[in-house]
Structure 1
Amino acid sequence: MQGKLRAPLTLPPLSYPFPSEISPYANEIDAQAIGWAGQMNILDSAMTAEYAGLRVGRLAGRTSPRSEPVGLQLLADWQLWLFAFDDAFCDESATGEDPELLARTVVDYLRILEDPGQEPDAADPFMGALADLRDRILVHSAPMQWMRFVHSVTGYFLAQCWEAANRSRQTAPTLVEYVHMRRHSGAVPTCMALIDVAGGFVLPQEDFANPHVMSLAQQATNIACWANDILSYPKEVARSRSVHSLPPILSAQYGIDMPEALHRAGQMHDHAVRQYLEQEATARAQASPQLHRYLDDLRFWMTGNLDWSLETRRYNVADYNAADVLDEVRPA
């Protein structure tokens, strides 16, 4: 899993032809999310200091900039839970290389979501925090909104077990397999499932399930996940036990070096943005006000994810373009 230390890698530039916005509540929400995580005991004192640089409130505030504080806090707290879960159980943890152990863990968490009457294990702070989120989301969501969220979280947990199985066997997925599963492993659909919950409106099921709208949501998810793969690649090489990311997958599939793999990842990202623009006009043509709002927030998810990625201390993107990183790594 080690590569060779070579010359600095330059990450490809990414941009979108959409406006950026940020909620005026973003910084306040950020502080409250860190406080909530401390109360739930999913962050110890050392992690609390590190997560202060995560700026999760600004991620929520950029991806859902028009939401009121209550909805925005739900989104930020959920995003913080995801980051903490990822660090504790996934690619930076030994659990992330043990698919059986990880599966047993997420089954208990799914039980909390699928059976709202279940009480969490008091000894498991992640379960307790998840139950707290469950109860709060249920208050602010319609039944179909809640079911969308649970469905998306199930996909996220399945994808984490899939990644753990790949790591345990030290095998890399094909590009086609990776592109499909990356949408789930990145957890973006779980956040998109909360777009209308956080926004205080209900997207009708006929709009949400419209094939054209579903395709746009999948493309927006791909774009956000591939941008993350590109911008977080140096961090993943430095910290992860094995790297599950688009550039190494491209490198392995086509036998190319990492600078070329990063370049191709950027090309895939930019092509997806162009496709999104072409298809979005059709969906907007006769869209309801709720669907217009949802499509606006899909745009905000792309721009907001990029803007946040460039400012969070989780990735330190500006530093990596001037630093030596591993340019060869075996994906797994």
Structure 2
Amino acid sequence: MDTRPKTIYLPDTMVNWPWPRTVNPHFEDVKAEADAWFRDFKALTPKSQEAFDKCEFARLAALIYPNASREYLRIGCDLMNVFFIFDDYTDVQNEAVTKEIVDIMLDALHNPQKMRPEGEHILGEIVRQFWARTIQSASLSSQRHFLETFTAYLHAVVTEVIDREQGHSKRSIDDYLKLRRYTSGVKPTYSIVEMGMDLPDEVFYNPVIMELAECITDVALIDNDMISYNKEQAAGNEDHNIVSTVMLELGLDRGGAMAWAANYHAEAQKRFIDGLAKVPSWGPSIDVLVKEYLDGMAMFVRGHKSWGYEGHRYCGTRGLEIQQTRLVPLLPKANLIEVGV
């Protein structure tokens, strides 16, 4: 008999975050354009496409990039689609197939003018078109930073697949966080924020800036793991999740693990806000870019959190209600009907 509690409590982790929810004014126009582009690939079955549409990844982009120009918001929308189609494909694939897809995507990124071969995985052409559009307007520094962080993300997903395939998914909390900072895909998303600026490498790789970026990455991945845990435990693939990792290592129940994650989240928020006072000066013209970049990161996590409830990927149609009550009905195992994925 299953005696587990039938609800999950989701702590309100962002209640004191100074950056408010904002949505990009170009949202509706760009959504129609980006959705039509993606649908043309016919990358999903009709049922999967319907579920994909409910997730509203264009809304995610509009929330995490509220100040982006129309052009960069479109790139952000396309990137969200790339992330999630790759995620959905590799969630059920083995190491060999995942590596093959990763090689195709990397080749498309490094050769965006080259036509993709007949019969290749559709992600090759999706990524090629995404990157060909991006390089028309993105600064060279942001392109470099994106390629570096996105490549690391792809390789980290291969490691996650190997973990799952070989039954090595029970990592320690520290090891899990080291890998999750890459598999979350958060780091490449910062590149959209800097696409309209030439952010020097001495700024991007400055230890203070790198630490602030890591704090934001931790805030985002903890929020994502907490809200996605219900869907993942129902599907039986919750091993790559901070809640399960904490339960295993510290011997806590689900509620205790959620509380641990919320506390870690609060510490990461504090490190970010305190760290802003330690940002060096590079002169007025650079400092204004640095502030815009860091504000963009801060708004990213607010938007990401908001989308968790406004989109239907994790909470189905009950997201706004759950946002108020903080209570999520526990999904039974192998039942994803309610979340629509």
TM-based fold match above 0.5: yes
Q: CA 1:284–1:295 in structure 2 vs 1: closer, same or farther (change >3 Å)?
A: farther
Q: 1:237-268, CA deviations, whole angstroms, 9 ceiling, x for partnerless residues?
A: 12354531000000111111111111101111
The alignment of Structure 1 onto Structure 2 pairs a total of residues equal to 318
User: AA paired with 1:158?
Assistant: H
Q: 1:121-140, CA deviations, whole angstroms, 9 ceiling, x for partnerless residues?
A: 34322111100011111111
Give the equivalent residue in structure 1 for 2:58.
57
| Contact map agreement 1:9 1:259 (CA 8 A) in 2 | yes
User: AA paired with 1:154?
Assistant: T
Residue in structure 1 matching 2:265, options 263, 269, 274: 269
Report the Cα distance in structure 2 between the residues aligned to 1:20 and 1:261, rounded to whole angstroms. 27
Give the equivalent residue in structure 1 for 2:337.
none
Q: CA 1:229–1:241 in structure 2 vs 1: closer, same or farther (change >3 Å)?
A: closer
Q: CA deviation at 1:4?
A: 6.8
Give the equivalent residue in structure 2 for 1:227.
223
Pairing of 1:159-178 with structure 2 (within 5 A): 159-171=156-168, 172-178=170-176
User: AA paired with 2:225?
Assistant: D
Q: 1:288-325, CA deviations, whole angstroms, 9 ceiling, x for partnerless residues?
A: 11111101101111111111112110011445824134
Report the Cα distance in structure 1 between the residues aligned to 2:43 and 2:236, rounded to whole angstroms. 20
Q: 1:116-157, CA deviations, whole angstroms, 9 ceiling, x for partnerless residues?
A: 454323432211110001111111123332121111111111
Residue in structure 2 matching 1:251, options 247, 255, 280: 247
| Contact map agreement 2:181 2:218 (CA 8 A) in 1 | yes
- Does 2:195 align with 1:189? no
- Does 2:83 align with 1:77? no
Q: CA 1:242–1:99 in structure 2 vs 1: closer, same or farther (change >3 Å)?
A: farther
Report the Cα distance in structure 2 between the residues aligned to 1:134 and 1:240, rounded to whole angstroms. 34
| Contact map agreement 1:189 1:221 (CA 8 A) in 2 | yes
Q: CA 1:159–1:240 in structure 2 vs 1: closer, same or farther (change >3 Å)?
A: farther
Report the Cα distance in structure 2 between the residues aligned to 1:19 and 1:279, rounded to whole angstroms. 20
- Does 2:290 align with 1:291? yes
Q: Which has the higher contact order (CA 8 A, sep 6+)?
A: 1
Give the equivalent residue in structure 2 for 1:278.
274
Report the Cα distance in structure 2 between the residues aligned to 1:270 and 1:201, rounded to whole angstroms. 30
Return 5+ residue gaps in structure 2 as ranges: 334-341
User: AA paired with 2:9?
Assistant: T
Q: CA deviation at 1:17?
A: 2.4
Residue in structure 1 matching 2:330, options 311, 324, 327: 324
Report the Cα distance in structure 1 between the residues aligned to 2:269 and 2:171, rounded to whole angstroms. 24
Q: 1:258-287, CA deviations, whole angstroms, 9 ceiling, x for partnerless residues?
A: 111111011111111011111012227666
Q: 1:69-110, CA deviations, whole angstroms, 9 ceiling, x for partnerless residues?
A: 1110011111111111111222xx1x0xx2232112211221
Report the Cα distance in structure 1 between the residues aligned to 2:185 and 2:81, rounded to whole angstroms. 12
| Contact map agreement 1:166 1:173 (CA 8 A) in 2 | no
Give the equivalent residue in structure 2 for 1:330.
none
Report the Cα distance in structure 1 between the residues aligned to 2:107 and 2:66, rounded to whole angstroms. 32
Report the Cα distance in structure 1 between the residues aligned to 2:248 and 2:278, rounded to whole angstroms. 37
User: AA paired with 1:252?
Assistant: L
TM-score scaled by length of structure 2: 0.87
Q: CA deviation at 1:326?
A: 6.3
Report the Cα distance in structure 2 between the residues aligned to 1:39 and 1:306, rounded to whole angstroms. 29
Share of identical aligned residues, percent? 22
Report the Cα distance in structure 1 between the residues aligned to 2:55 and 2:97, rounded to whole angstroms. 28
Q: Which moved more, 1:79-88 or 1:108-117?
A: 108-117
| Contact map agreement 1:216 1:276 (CA 8 A) in 2 | yes
User: AA paired with 1:302?
Assistant: V
1:9 is paired with a residue whose SS is strand
* Alignment RMSD (CA, Å): 2.1
Residue in structure 2 matching 1:136, options 133, 137, 141: 133
Give the equivalent residue in structure 1 for 2:68.
67
Q: CA deviation at 1:5?
A: 4.8
Report the Cα distance in structure 2 between the residues aligned to 1:54 and 1:17, rounded to whole angstroms. 26
Pairing of 1:237-248 with structure 2 (within 5 A): 237-239=233-235, 241-248=237-244
- Does 2:155 align with 1:154? no
